[in-house]
Amino acid sequence: MLNIRIGYSLFTYLAMAFITMAGLSYINFLPGLVNALAGAIGFSDVEAGQIIALNGYGGLLGTTAAIFLVSRIRWQPAVFIGLAALALMDIASTRIDAYEAMLAWRFVAGFFGGFSLGTAFAVLARLSNPDRAFGCLLFIQFSVGALVIYLLPALEIATNAYAVFYVMASLALLSLLFVLLFARVPLNNASSEQGLLLSGKYRHAFLLLLAILLYQVAASAIWAYVGLIGLAAGLAAEPVSVYIAATGLLGLLGAMAPVIIGKRHGRLPWLLLGVAISAIAALLLIFAAHPVLYVLAMAMLFIAWPAVQSYLLAVTAELDASGKLATTAAVVSFAGLATGPLLASGLLESGRYLFMLIICALIFLLSGFVLFKPVRTQEVRCARFQWSGDPEFRLR
């Protein structure tokens, strides 16, 4: 079966990215959800963290389930059912005040959201331009996260402490409209085995997944503690919050890089540059007592992070035309996001962040080392296939 690709408008990419993001949208404004649960809703800090963790484990289970089903089911009904169930559960969460009930409820909600996300990930991977597809996904994530964090305090005043759940339900409902709009979008239907065989050995897929995991672990470890790093360095709480919000918006620039540049000059140079910038950012945070260096470090990380992830996900999509590997990458990425803060907490020494930041810088560099060979091999192979002019071997 030939790998047939179809052109899409930018709106299609953005809409599909929005559908994908909505499955686990809370990740983009996680501080707001934690503050709501541990604030006026009435749970303790520990209970709020455990509720978030169970929601995340449910999402991880749902995304894992999508790996085994994505090639056997139609994506539109699957995503629609998942998002519809998620929206109902988000709304119903506003009526739950018992800790045990909320734990179980959010675990199930996470499963539906994760399954929707995993299925939609496979759709993104099967669009004609995976660089643009995953760049749009990161752009949507950073945009929605910044907007919700900015508006949430006002929404809580206008409604109640459960406003964050209303926001999550609204995002899921809006995504249902996009699913209906794109009910007949044709996709590549090549098998997973065919895509991997055309692209090389399975070992390359493993190395790419390992690179994604390593990078996400290091990045999320820093993201979880970046505010506390500034406070520990002697900066005041208010400017630290402003610095984080302002530099976080720079992630939009990083997300747009793959959309605009694509793989015009190859992905490997941009990936290595992004990894190097991330490692330097981690080391600069050692000197967070200097506000200029603190802001510069965050700006560098937030620009590099979405660009690196977009390009890595695009490479996985090109390795496997069925989208199954991209869904696996979503699971690995989510696992990395969950593991990073846990690793960071274990590396702290009496509130000192020096050792943790050095380890994160080394993990960034290790991810660059791991991704080099599979990305380089993939680029060389694609160049040879295009030069041969044989349509049987033209990938994207």
Domain count, the chain: 2
Do 273 and 389 lie in a common domain? yes
Instruction: Please indicate, yes or no, whether residues 36 and 91 belong to a single structural domain of this protein.
Output: yes
Based on the fold, state whether residues 198 and 311 are members of the same structural domain: yes
Identify whether the C-beta of residue 326 lies closer than 8 Å to the C-beta of residue 124.
yes
- Contact predicate 195/322, CB 8 Å: yes
Within a domain: 83: yes
208 domain-assigned:
yes
Residue whose token pair is 């990936």: 271
Q: Is residue 373 domain-shared with residue 294, that is, in the same domain?
A: yes
Tokens of 149: 């964090």
4 within domain boundaries: no
**CA–CA dist 286, 182 (Å, integer):** 47
382 contacts 395 by C-beta, under 8 angstroms: yes
Based on the fold, state whether residues 74 and 177 are members of the same structural domain.
yes
Domain end, chosen from 151, 181, 211, is at 181
Considering the domain architecture, whether residues 382 and 301 belong to the same structural domain is answered as yes
Same domain for 155 and 23: yes
Q: Please, where are the H alpha helices in the chain?
A: 10-22, 30-38, 45-69, 75-92, 99-125, 130-158, 163-181, 192-199, 202-232, 237-248, 251-261, 268-284, 291-319, 324-347, 354-388
Listed in sequence order, the residues at least 6 apart from 322 whose beta carbon sits closer than 8 Å to its beta carbon are 70, 71, 122, 126, 188, 189, 190, 191, 192, 194, 195
Tell whether 212 and 344 lie within a shared domain. yes
Q: Has residue 95 been placed in a domain? A: yes
The answer to whether the beta carbons of residues 99 and 48 sit under 8 Å apart is no
Give 250's contacts (C-beta < 8 A, 6+ positions apart). 299, 302, 303
Domain membership of residue 356 (yes or no) is yes
Q: Are 283 and 358 in contact (CB under 8 A)?
A: yes
Domain boundary among 127, 153, 181: 181
Domain end point (choices 154, 181, 208)? 181
Assess whether 37 and 160 both reside in one domain. Answer: yes
The Cα 227–Cα 244 span in angstroms is 7
CATH (domain of 270) = 1.20.1250.20
Determine the structural domain holding residue 19 and report its residue range.
Answer: 10-181
Write out the chain's pLDDT in tens, 396 residues. Answer: 333 333 457 788 888 899 999 998 888 887 778 778 877 888 876 687 778 878 888 888 998 898 888 778 888 899 999 999 999 999 999 998 888 999 999 999 999 999 999 898 888 877 877 778 888 888 898 888 878 877 888 888 888 889 999 999 999 999 999 998 875 655 555 444 444 444 456 788 899 999 999 999 999 888 877 877 888 888 887 787 778 777 877 777 877 777 777 666 678 888 999 999 999 999 999 999 999 999 999 999 989 998 898 888 888 877 776 667 877 888 888 888 777 877 887 787 666 789 999 999 999 999 999 999 888 887 776 665 555 544 443 333
Whether residues 66 and 123 fall in one domain: yes
Residues 248 and 276 in one domain: yes
